[in-house]
Amino acid sequence: MDIATTPTNPEGNPELADAATMPKEPPVIRREDYKPYPWLLPETRLHFDLGVEATTVAATLKVERNPDAEPSGELFLNGDSLKADSVRVDGEASDDWRMEGADLIVSLPGAKHTVEITTTIQPDKNTALMGLYASNGMLCTQCEAEGFRRITFFPDRPDVLSTYSVRMQGAKDQFPILLCNGNKTETGDLEDGRHFAEWHDPWPKPSYLFALVAGDLVAHSGPFTTQSGREVECNIWVRAEDIDRTDHALKSLHQSMKWDEETFGREYDLDLYNIVAVSDFNMGAMENKGLNVFNTKYVLADPDTATDDDFDAVEGVIAHEYFHNWSGNRITCRDWFQLSLKEGFTVLRDQLFSQDMRGEAVKRIEDVRILRAAQFPEDAGPLAHPIRPDSYREISNFYTATVYNKGAEVIRMMRSMAGEERFRKGTDLYFDRHDGEAATCEDFISAIEEGAELQLAQFRRWYRQAGTPRISVSQQNTARGFTLTLSQTIPDTPGQTNKGPMPIPLRIAVHCGETGSLGEEQLIVLKEAEETFELPLTGPDPIVSINRGFTAPVIIERAMSREALAFLAARDNDPFARYEAMQELSVGHLVAAASGELDEEERATGKRVIADAFRAIIADEELDDAMRGELMILPSETYLFEAMASSSPAGPPSGERKADPGAIHAEREQLKTTLGTVLKRELEGLYARAEAVPFDDPAGRGARKVKAQALALLAASDPEKAAGMAARQFDSAGNMTDRQGAMMVLAGLKAPEREERLAAFYDRFKGNDLVIDKWFTLQALSLHDDVINQVKALAEHPDFTMNNPNRVRSLYMAFAGNPKGFHDASGEGYRMIADVILALDPINPQTAARFVSPLGKWRRIEPGRAALMKAELERIAKADNLSRDTFEQVSRSLDG
Ligand code: TRP
Ligand code: ZN
């Protein structure tokens, strides 16, 4: 039979089986259950007949038995919401196949077969944005992690590598550009205004790296010549109206290609590199072989519409996806538990690239700030997991700050211990040994161990154990000199207790507080639960500078006087250590104040010391503004939340300190007011000096950063005057950084300037989605007393839609990250986010599930808010037909 009757699935559900919502309790997948796939797929041919409403996909799979696997007489093919129109084996229509849930199983007697399956899919109904979907009239794909099974039945797992040949055809006026992985081998016209293109990708790849794009696009092109002299055609594909905002992306791509040759010895391996910008996208970008698909947010940038930070983000994501060509594509992952193999390593590579492009110190500080804002809370909450997880229900939930950012930190520690040169020998060995394979984290560790000559037996615990280690530091002056006792504890996390000590590399120096002389730096590695290190004494009053450059992703607990911290903040020769001392100074004060531990006099002293440190930083002529700006950043409320709720979530149920977001917010605002008042003259001077620096000046970027900070502090002490300054800055701004900096301040004020400038901003940028996203975000993040009602009103705005992830995030992720709104004592903020999850889950489960973690913080918060948050999680859990994504996150958040 050619047109098969659809076998009903086991549940007797007449609808198509949807892998994301089917069983009430989705099964748990375990790392230890890995088995190789019984079949090899040397060749895959795909034929697409493209249409926005209906696309037909004819797949031809050449399969042969895998000699290294347990044999099977069946070919198991994953599917998700698919129906087979026909199944043929070796050229004959077959009825020797069945559906098992959403998957298709074909019986195969022999050692080698050709299997042909035809499916029809509906791209414009695909709101989950996984598989083949429509975006602004164009068609594109997203296959990682398990989206390919929404296109055709296939062994959709990363260890099945195949060589793909693709033919795509469709209406020429609707889809003038037809793109796929690899090289274009043929094109031609067909009847009825249709045309076709054929593509061949010579590099075997897993299905998650497949991509196809069809639409009305134009390219900004610029060739790159590789180190061995090959010319690569590089194209950035966008809608015609966006072409003028692609210079930065193309330049970043060329710089990445050059950097990877110089730094890791990696050269590009095709003659073509295509990047396509898409406005409906679940994440940042995707590294599909030779055809990266990007969220427009990480491609389009010009000074009028993108901030300095946006430019950096474009550079970083372009580099990240490019670097995946080796760390991810040439060497891929055996299974999804190994995700950090490609993601942790690639994040490290993009971080090192950006350090080289724009300065090591500031980039390092930014990366640590991200780690602390996103990963530390994850590690301390119910969703904590090791960088190599042991189990999951839905793999999309494990694209986390832990797998990505802590994964990068773990590899960075290996690099710190080996030194750059030996680390390079390790990565050379890894790339050499595993090229063309689907590898494991263990393969990576072994290669580094051997190539970089490190002993990593105990270090492997970093891959197994979740939780941020806490290091307590005590120092003793002895007759012979000076000793430092360090002890480590790793908090319990869901499913994990009694963890073993891990090697913790710490760069350290001992300064002399009395003479001010700076000590020499060395690297020590703490391996035991407790260890004592003898250090040279450089003079009386030793001040220890530890975890310089943030060599280890740990929390240092040390009792250090305000004076010692002020010394480090003003004088340490490691820029990260200066930043760290400033943070510690502020965190110590703010947490103590928010916990009610300070009387009025102590509170005043704390604020005075911080103000003095700020004054010194503003006056320090040796600092550039970019670094000055880092030193002037106050710890975020999220970070203070973590510091206040500093005990382990799985610890004893009573006697822990809980975070009080209301008190944190009040104290932090009060500190801003004090700084704005006491330092009025200095801040106004700083503002005036920064304002005079031209946009294109090399120092312009740092100047814009400190200008924004000065304005924010001045607004806390004299809102009326600051409203005037901000309005003036907004009106005269020639770039988005200044405009957004001004709007950020205005959005939080009750002033007529607020409404006027918000309207002006909207009118000017109406129709530019990325800028209108900023307009939503500015309001959702604002310090305004009425922020909850403002967000409710914005949800009714004609430009708001639940169907575009960027727009949803611009309003609601921003709001969930606004402690003042989200943690409002009424619980309205929690209710709003729970409502978003319930409304978004049927549309786009992957994006919906990302909103669960803010509510998962309930165990670490004061009891009143904790009860309100928990009640919202329970309300979500009761809903029918939750996706696998949201089900998993909600149940972990309630149980963990
Ligand atoms: N692998 C991609 C990256 O790290 C991210 C990614 C994973 C992704 N799954 C996705 C992107 C789903 C979009 C949708 O760059
Ligand atoms: Zn990645």
Residue 285's pLDDT band (cuts 50, 70, 90): very high
Which residues face 804 on adjacent strands? none
Domains and CATH numbers, the chain: 1-33+766-896 (1.25.50.10), 39-216 (2.60.40.1730), 366-464 (1.10.390.10), 470-493+500-552 (2.60.40.1840)
Q: Mean per-residue pLDDT for 361-381?
A: 97
Residue 657's pLDDT band (cuts 50, 70, 90): confident
What percent of the chain shows pLDDT beyond 70?
A: 97
Q: Mean per-residue pLDDT for 529-536?
A: 93
Residue 121's pLDDT band (cuts 50, 70, 90): very high
Q: Cβ(144) to ligand 1 under 6 A? A: yes
Q: Cβ(308) to ligand 1 under 6 A? A: no
Least confident of 465-469, 535-539, 628-632, 701-705: 535-539
Query: In terms of DSSP bridges, do strands 272-278 and 231-238 run parallel, antiparallel, or are they unpaired?
Result: parallel
Residue 24's pLDDT band (cuts 50, 70, 90): confident
- Rounded to 10°, the helix 661-678/600-619 angle is 50
Taken in order 134, 138, 142, 143, is the CA torsion positive or negative? positive
Q: Which among 282, 348, 394 is the best mutation to test ligand 1's pocket, defined by most ligand atoms within 8 Å of the CB? A: 282
Residue 652's pLDDT band (cuts 50, 70, 90): very low
Q: Cβ(142) to ligand 1 under 6 A? A: yes
Q: Given the structure tokens 């309005």, which residue do they identify?
A: 727
Q: Cβ(885) to ligand 1 under 6 A? A: no
Q: Mean per-residue pLDDT for 317-345?
A: 99
Q: Mean per-residue pLDDT for 156-169?
A: 99
Output the pLDDT for position 23: 57
Q: What's the pLDDT tens digit per position in 32-59?
A: 999 999 999 999 999 999 999 999 999 9
Residue 830 has pLDDT above 50, yes or no: yes
Query: In terms of DSSP bridges, do strands 138-142 and 131-135 run parallel, antiparallel, or are they unpaired?
Result: antiparallel
Report the alpha-carbon distance of residue 76 to residue 103 in Å, rounded.
7
Residue 2 has pLDDT above 90, yes or no: no
How far lies 548's CA from each of 356, 467, 624, 760, 865, in Å? 19, 21, 20, 45, 37
Q: What's the pLDDT tens digit per position in 227-259?
A: 999 999 999 999 999 999 999 999 999 999 999
**Residue bearing the CA closest to ligand 1, atom 2:** 286
Q: Cβ(287) to ligand 1 under 6 A? A: yes
Residue 21's pLDDT band (cuts 50, 70, 90): low
Annotate 633-702 with DSSP letters as a single string.
Answer: PPPPHHHHHHHHT-S-TTS-SSS---B-HHHHHHHHHHHHHHHHHHTHHHHHHHHHHHHTS-TTSTTHHH
Output the pLDDT for position 20: 64
Dihedrals phi, psi of 735, to nearest 5 degrees: -150, 160
Report the alpha-carbon distance of residue 407 to residue 412 in Å, rounded.
9
Output the pLDDT for position 15: 56
Q: How far is the CA of 180 from the centre of ligand 2 (A)?
A: 20
Residue 6's pLDDT band (cuts 50, 70, 90): very low
Q: Cβ(383) to ligand 1 under 6 A? A: no
Output the pLDDT for position 478: 76
Residue 653 has pLDDT above 70, yes or no: no
Q: How far is the CA of 293 from the centre of ligand 2 (A)?
A: 12
Q: How far is the CA of 345 from the centre of ligand 1 (A)?
A: 15
Q: Cβ(868) to ligand 1 under 6 A? A: no
CA 750 to chain centre: 34
Output the pLDDT for position 479: 72
Q: Cβ(310) to ligand 1 under 6 A? A: no
Q: How far is the CA of 144 from the centre of ligand 1 (A)?
A: 6
Output the pLDDT for position 255: 99
Q: How far is the CA of 729 from the centre of ligand 2 (A)?
A: 37
Residue 537's pLDDT band (cuts 50, 70, 90): confident
Residue 812's pLDDT band (cuts 50, 70, 90): very high
Report the alpha-carbon distance of residue 224 to residue 207 in Å, rounded.
28
Residue 560 has pLDDT above 70, yes or no: yes
Ligand nearest to the CA of residue 318, numbered in listed order: 1
Output the pLDDT for position 650: 38
Q: Mean per-residue pLDDT for 298-310?
A: 98
Residue 178's pLDDT band (cuts 50, 70, 90): very high
Would you call 284 exposed, middle or buried from its count of C-beta atoms within 10 A (0-12, 13-18, 19+)?
Answer: middle
Going by C-alpha positions, the residue among 209, 198, 92 that lies closest to residue 157 is 209
Q: Are 711 and 727 in contact (CB under 8 A)?
A: no
Q: Mean per-residue pLDDT for 749-767?
A: 97
Ligand nearest to the CA of residue 286, numbered in listed order: 1
Q: Cβ(343) to ligand 1 under 6 A? A: yes
With the CA atoms of 512, 516, 521 and 524 taken in that order, what torsion angle do they form, in degrees rounded to the nearest 10? 30
CA 482 to chain centre: 42
Residue 9's pLDDT band (cuts 50, 70, 90): very low
Output the pLDDT for position 226: 98
Q: Mean per-residue pLDDT for 725-737?
A: 98
**Residue bearing the CA closest to ligand 1, atom 11:** 283
Residue 262 has pLDDT above 50, yes or no: yes
Residue 10 has pLDDT above 60, yes or no: no
Residue 8's pLDDT band (cuts 50, 70, 90): very low
Q: Mean per-residue pLDDT for 144-149?
A: 98
Q: Which among 135, 283, 314 is the best mutation to test ligand 1's pocket, defined by most ligand atoms within 8 Å of the CB? A: 283
Residue 19 has pLDDT above 80, yes or no: no
Output the pLDDT for position 18: 72
Going by C-alpha positions, the residue among 282, 348, 309 that lies closest to residue 145 is 282
642 catalytically annotated:
no
**Residue bearing the CA closest to ligand 1, atom 6:** 286
Output the pLDDT for position 13: 44
Q: Which residue out of 116, 321, 366, 862 is catalytically annotated?
A: 321
CA 721 to chain centre: 38
User: Greatest CA separation found in the chain?
Assistant: 93
Output the pLDDT for position 536: 80
Ligand nearest to the CA of residue 292, numbered in listed order: 1
Q: Which chain residues have CB less than 5 Å from ligand 2, an ion?
A: 343, 346
Q: Cβ(280) to ligand 1 under 6 A? A: no
Q: Residue 30: enclosing H or E segment and its boundaries? A: strand 29-30
Q: Mean per-residue pLDDT for 112-128?
A: 98
Q: Are 288 and 322 in contact (CB under 8 A)?
A: no
Residue 794 has pLDDT above 70, yes or no: yes
How high is the mean pLDDT of the chain? 95
**Residue bearing the CA closest to ligand 1, atom 9:** 144
Q: How far is the CA of 288 from the centre of ligand 1 (A)?
A: 10
Q: How far is the CA of 344 from the centre of ligand 1 (A)?
A: 13
Burial letters 797-834, b for 16+ CB under 10 A, else e: eeebebebbbbbbbbbbbbbbbbbbbbbeebbbbbbbb
Q: What's the pLDDT tens digit per position in 75-102?
A: 999 999 999 999 999 999 999 999 999 9
Residue 784 has pLDDT above 70, yes or no: yes
Output the pLDDT for position 411: 99
Q: Cβ(282) to ligand 1 under 6 A? A: yes
Q: What's the pLDDT tens digit per position in 331-340?
A: 999 999 999 9
Q: Which among 140, 142, 325 is the best mutation to test ligand 1's pocket, defined by most ligand atoms within 8 Å of the CB? A: 142
**Residue bearing the CA closest to ligand 1, atom 10:** 144
Q: Mean per-residue pLDDT for 872-896?
A: 97
The tokens for 2 are 């050619």
